[in-house]
Structure 1
Amino acid sequence: MNATYVSAFLAAGHYATDTLVIGGVKVKDMEFAVAEESQNPHGILGIGYAINTDAATSQGHNYANLPEALVNSGAIKSPAYSLWLNKFDGTGNLLFGGVNKARYQGELQTVPVLPLYGKYYSLAIALTDISVKTSSGTKDFATGLPIAVTLDNGSAFIALPQEIIDPILKEVGAGYSKSDDVAYIDCTKPTPDYNVTFSFSGAKVNVPLSELVLDGYAQPGFPKGNCILGLTYSQPGVNLMGDSFMRSAYIVYDLANNEISLANTNYDGGDDDILEIGTGSDAVPGATLMRDPVTSATGNGAVATGGAAAAPGTTIYVTGTGTATGTATGTATGTAKGGAAATSTSKGWAAVQTSNPGHLLPGLLGAGLLLAL
């Protein structure tokens, strides 16, 4: 393996197979990459499309990555999972094979994944509208839209073209540091009535401005009293809705149907209310397909992107019929670096807590994006 990511982050090593122990379930002959040389202190759990693993793209070798391997082992019915990041405190979780109704508000709204040259490489959907609400009212912005964006929690920020970012910054009174390549705002400015709403063919996610502000994080060149705002200019053709967006969303990735379902998050949530994701065209419980969704858009065509990766600070679960299972990131019986052993919980869901949230700055932009290892 010799994988280079969008941010120029490099991981190199060899491939291996082992028995992956997930709670009380074993996935035999699980193939994975052992990162003997890596600029990332954490393991990467590649859970995008298997067609976009490093082995598939660079060597023509296709193998079942984790979502497919879990299906093949009988642990889950379909290669689908739900991501709930919660607040910036490392308490979110990743649930394979299920939807947790306690973790979102309203209903799940489904939009299609955008293909690239007739095939599905990236977990990208069409961003069709943005609106900003402040004390002076609400303004809609459509310049540069629709555009293809990848929902990727290996990225810290929302990364969009400058023509899309600048109107948002102007409306909320934020600035942009070209030297640091990130936006900034007065740490005390955001109020509860300020928010940015992102729409994907009518599926809307409201992001409170306060959740975009990384309180306590600043750069030397920022004006005094200013903090990082989770927005940055994207690299040409690579547009990302990273953690700054995803903490306000509940996201279901349905790889079998090439669909993504979205809802507004329920921060902290209540008691688990988990439903299993089945098979067929209506596999995700409670999800409604949006009418006349955008099925093609510019952007995210410069590179083949791997989509989702489990970020540090995310607890990972798997739900399946009759068997409680979980998974550890980047590890098969302790072989790969940066992993952890799985532990069971009182509710029967085997889980593993990954390490604390890591670096925030754009140096790691796209670290989990390019290849589904």
Structure 2
Amino acid sequence: MAYYVNITVGTPPQLQTVLVDTGSPINILLASNASFCESQPCNHGTFDSSESSTFEIIDHQNMIMNFADTSSLYGDYFTDVIQMNNVVISNVPIGRAHKVRLLFPPYTGMMGIGPSSLHDPPGLVESLSKSGAISSRLYSVYLNTLDQYGSLLFGGIDTDKYKGSLTTLNCLRSPFRQRRHDMVNDFLLYIQDITMLPYDGPKQTILQSTKDLSYYTLPDTGTTRWQLPSSAYDKVIESAGVEPALYQYKDVLPSALLRTCSDVARGLANTTHFELTLAGNGTNTATLNLELADLFVPVTSEDGNAISNSVGQTMCRLVVDKHNDRYLMTGNSAMRAGYWVFDLDNGQVSVAQANLRANTSNAVAVDAGTEGLSKVALNHKAVIQHDLVENGSPFSMTYNLSTVTNTVGYMTGAESYPIATSVNGVYRGL
């Protein structure tokens, strides 16, 4: 389960359906002649550079991307034309992966919208800003419920997509990554605490940071799973009422923890809730209310069909992982409960409770500067970032910006891809 957008790349445009990843700094496409494609079909939106008249290599064979799950991509950097919706930007840096070492098959490319380091070419958000498409290096993410489209809004927020307060948190200087440790260069936050509210039992705190032991988290749309340390994970498993798949279902790992989807549907009266409280290096804290339903996704076969038990009930899989480390990932399963604003200029993440299944929109642009969000956000709790923020890539690029009448639209349905990219499985669109 992942979240994707449609873009086109090249001249003439080639449709690419790319995974939205707040945890990576740059766009990456699979080369049509990638070594991965020699052992299996690669009809998943790979990019054929020989077919684009605007393709230009800028850094040959120096792209090395390593991911938290030990996966990696190797290739080069190039520039080309990207179209999103009706906006066209030329000369955007993109990674082209020739060699792939992944735990799971790379069904598609990746839209990396995390902060660029001093070693990376400019990322997409930086390219949008420097081209004049947006005023601030800021974007907002609304994932919505699994049966609905969400939205990814560059340069602004949608005030109809959240409720209550929008609380800004200062991101932390990272003690973990191979980057400079004297400045903010990632969307890293503290987990202040996680409280579980079972429908049939007392409220209990299952995770809490202390002065001597702090837990960190990275909100990451590029991963599904919510990582928790052993003690908290065990509490969730106990409350979730799941059973291992063992060998009952084809295409399902024996270790997968399952429950019938009807038992973990959204809005049930007798369901467990969680309160996730996040903090940064300032005084603000933001609390999200999650339902147990947020932590489950449907189980599907390789052809995308729902998997059912012996009596015809569709099955859902728990997407919570045990991770014995203080550095944890908050994946898109838990992020669905929130409305997220990622601000690269100010090194901040703003969080509010999502207004799920909203049927209206009020998109407003956010100006650059420390006051930009406060000018337009409803019920905004602001904070000043006092740490130094890594201010993007030093690479000098020249962009051209234009608009066109033909748009790159939605996928053809909430559970399908355009025919051109033909990816098996159930995926959701933004």
Check whether TM > 0.5.
yes
Aligned residue in 1 for 2:114: 48
In the superposition, relative to structure 1, how do residues 173 and 352 fare at CA in structure 2: closer, same or farther (>3 Å)? closer
Aligned residue in 2 for 1:68: 126
Corresponding position: 1:114 with 2:114: no
Distance apart, 1:256 and its partner CA: 0.8
Which residue identity does 2:294 align to in structure 1? E
Aligned residue in 1 for 2:40: none
Aligned residue in 1 for 2:152: 94
Q: Contact 1:111–1:259 (CA<8 Å) still a contact in 2?
A: yes
Which of 357, 361, 366 is 1:268 aligned to? 357
Distance apart, 1:187 and its partner CA: 4.4
Q: Contact 2:196–2:275 (CA<8 Å) still a contact in 1?
A: yes
In the superposition, relative to structure 1, how do residues 96 and 180 fare at CA in structure 2: closer, same or farther (>3 Å)? farther
Aligned residue in 1 for 2:67: 5
In the superposition, relative to structure 1, how do residues 227 and 19 fare at CA in structure 2: closer, same or farther (>3 Å)? closer
Q: Deviations over 1:190-236 (max 9, x none)?
A: 43342111111431111111232224469x9x999874212111263
* TM-score after normalising by structure 1: 0.70
Aligned residue in 1 for 2:291: 208
- Distance, in Å, in 2 between the alignment partners of 1:243 and 1:127 is 16
Which residue identity does 2:349 align to in structure 1? I
SS for the counterpart of 1:256 is: coil
Distance apart, 1:242 and its partner CA: 0.6
Aligned residue in 2 for 1:19: 81
- Distance, in Å, in 1 between the alignment partners of 2:310 and 2:227 is 22
SS for the counterpart of 1:40 is: coil
Aligned residue in 2 for 1:304: none
In the superposition, relative to structure 1, how do residues 262 and 65 fare at CA in structure 2: closer, same or farther (>3 Å)? same
Corresponding position: 1:84 with 2:173: no
Aligned residue in 1 for 2:397: none
- Distance, in Å, in 1 between the alignment partners of 2:371 and 2:204 is 32
Larger RCO (alpha carbons 8 Å, 6+ apart):
1
Distance apart, 1:34 and its partner CA: 1.3
- Distance, in Å, in 1 between the alignment partners of 2:89 and 2:155 is 15
Which residue identity does 1:200 align to in structure 2? L
Distance apart, 1:246 and its partner CA: 1.3
- Distance, in Å, in 1 between the alignment partners of 2:116 and 2:290 is 31
Corresponding position: 1:278 with 2:367: yes
Q: Deviations over 1:110-141 (max 9, x none)?
A: 11111122223321211111122222345231
Which residue identity does 1:196 align to in structure 2? F
Residues 288-327 of structure 1: pairs in structure 2 closer than 5 A: 288-289=380-381
Aligned residue in 1 for 2:218: 150
In the superposition, relative to structure 1, how do residues 64 and 277 fare at CA in structure 2: closer, same or farther (>3 Å)? same
Which residue identity does 1:239 align to in structure 2? L
- Distance, in Å, in 2 between the alignment partners of 1:164 and 1:183 is 16
SS for the counterpart of 1:50 is: coil
In the superposition, relative to structure 1, how do residues 246 and 171 fare at CA in structure 2: closer, same or farther (>3 Å)? same
- Distance, in Å, in 1 between the alignment partners of 2:288 and 2:91 is 39
In the superposition, relative to structure 1, how do residues 3 and 216 fare at CA in structure 2: closer, same or farther (>3 Å)? closer
Corresponding position: 1:164 with 2:232: yes
Distance apart, 1:77 and its partner CA: 0.6
Distance apart, 1:157 and its partner CA: 1.1
Distance apart, 1:105 and its partner CA: 1.7
User: Please, which moves more after superposition, 16-25 or 248-257?
Assistant: 16-25
Give me the identity figure in percent: 23
Which residue identity does 1:41 align to in structure 2? Y
SS for the counterpart of 1:192 is: coil
Q: Contact 1:111–1:289 (CA<8 Å) still a contact in 2?
A: no
Corresponding position: 1:127 with 2:195: no
For structure 1, the residue ranges without an aligned partner over 5 or more in a row are 296-322, 327-341, 345-349, 361-373
Which of 223, 234, 254 is 2:323 aligned to? 234
In the superposition, relative to structure 1, how do residues 45 and 134 fare at CA in structure 2: closer, same or farther (>3 Å)? same
In the superposition, relative to structure 1, how do residues 23 and 214 fare at CA in structure 2: closer, same or farther (>3 Å)? closer
Distance apart, 1:40 and its partner CA: 0.9
Which residue identity does 1:210 align to in structure 2? A
Distance apart, 1:264 and its partner CA: 1.4
- Distance, in Å, in 2 between the alignment partners of 1:250 and 1:71 is 22
Q: Contact 1:133–1:193 (CA<8 Å) still a contact in 2?
A: no
Distance apart, 1:160 and its partner CA: 1.7
* TM-score after normalising by structure 2: 0.61
Distance apart, 1:158 and its partner CA: 0.5
Which of 205, 209, 216 is 1:141 aligned to? 205
Distance apart, 1:65 and its partner CA: 1.0
In the superposition, relative to structure 1, how do residues 200 and 265 fare at CA in structure 2: closer, same or farther (>3 Å)? same
Aligned residue in 2 for 1:192: 269
User: Please, which moves more after superposition, 11-20 or 249-258?
Assistant: 11-20
In the superposition, relative to structure 1, how do residues 84 and 139 fare at CA in structure 2: closer, same or farther (>3 Å)? same
Which residue identity does 2:274 align to in structure 1? V
Q: Contact 1:23–1:324 (CA<8 Å) still a contact in 2?
A: no
Which residue identity does 2:78 align to in structure 1? A
Distance apart, 1:101 and its partner CA: 1.5
- Distance, in Å, in 2 between the alignment partners of 1:23 and 1:156 is 25
Which residue identity does 1:104 align to in structure 2? Y
